[in-house]
Amino acid sequence: MRIIKAKDYEDMSKKAANIIASQVIMKPGAVLGLATGSTPIGTYKQLIKKYNNGDLDFSQVTTVNLDEYKGLAKDHDQSYYYFMHQNLFDHINIKPERTFLPDGTQADSDNACADYDRIIAEVGGVDLQLLGIGHNGHIGFNEPGSVFEKDTHCVDLTEKTIQANKRFFASADDVPKQAYTMGIRTIMMARKILLVASGEEKAEIIKEAFFGPVTPAVQASILQLRKHVILVADEAALSQVK
């Protein structure tokens, strides 16, 4: 594991984008695993900048996202499909047919998840998987306590998550109750993993995940077992690490 310390969010975003860019330069047909959430937005902005400067070409790149809400239409402004188009895909020369997310519109969970695992296998697996981390150590929608040996699967969102997300929807009833997510096994199959973290509020979990025991109680702790993991975090997120 490598830890790269950044000064602040902007610096973290630049450093993470440089790592992704070097992957694409070294392998123009790379398969990138992508994440949503607030942390990678700055990284995506930096990648767009590099593309606009003519320094990066996404025409042969394939992407597979970590997760998607079940039951949201693609054009719903809270779907991860929508997020990825707004924050990255619509601003670079990636081929839309080379961008994949679990299909949240598929009602049959088993089929949706099996289809997604097949897509990941067919594109040849993930070269570089970008991750954020939840305050409880979740990666993707893999919440504390779930078993490590899962491929893409359907999860029930906790009441806490539904309550936290209801501000983005007309009411709590409109918040999706389930999501499709790559499992820990899917994530661990990636050839390289890049986790980004920023801010004081991530400091405790970064210490636990990367320096505490490896346990399903802290899903990200499994990353300690991988050699090719890079943590890019700012000073605030690393403030509890000696």
Of the candidate spans 35-43, 87-95, 204-212, 222-230, the one that interacts with ligand F6R by CB under 6 A turns out to be 35-43
Does residue 138 carry a catalytic annotation? yes
Shortest distance in whole angstroms from residue 215 CB to ligand F6R: 18
Ranges within 46-65 binding ligand F6R (CB under 6 A): none
The catalytically annotated residue of 136, 151, 174, 235 is: 136
Cβ-based burial of 54 (10 A; exposed 0-12, middle 13-18, buried ≥19) = exposed
Does residue 136 carry a catalytic annotation? yes
Task: Tell me the number of residues near ligand F6R by CB under 6 A.
Answer: 13
Shortest distance in whole angstroms from residue 139 CB to ligand F6R: 5
User: Does 39 help bind ligand F6R (rule: CB under 6 A)?
Assistant: yes
| Cβ closest to ligand F6R, residue 134 vs residue 183 | 134
d(CA 39, CA 73): 24
User: Does 139 help bind ligand F6R (rule: CB under 6 A)?
Assistant: yes
Q: Which of 13, 36, 152, 221 binds ligand F6R (CB under 6 A)?
A: 36
Binding pattern for the stretch 94-133 against ligand F6R, x by CB under 6 A and - elsewhere: --------------------------------------xx
| Cβ closest to ligand F6R, residue 37 vs residue 144 | 37
The catalytically annotated residue of 65, 87, 103, 138 is: 138
Residues that bind ligand F6R (CB under 6 A): 35-39, 66-67, 132-134, 138-140
Q: Which residues are catalytic?
A: 67, 136, 138, 143
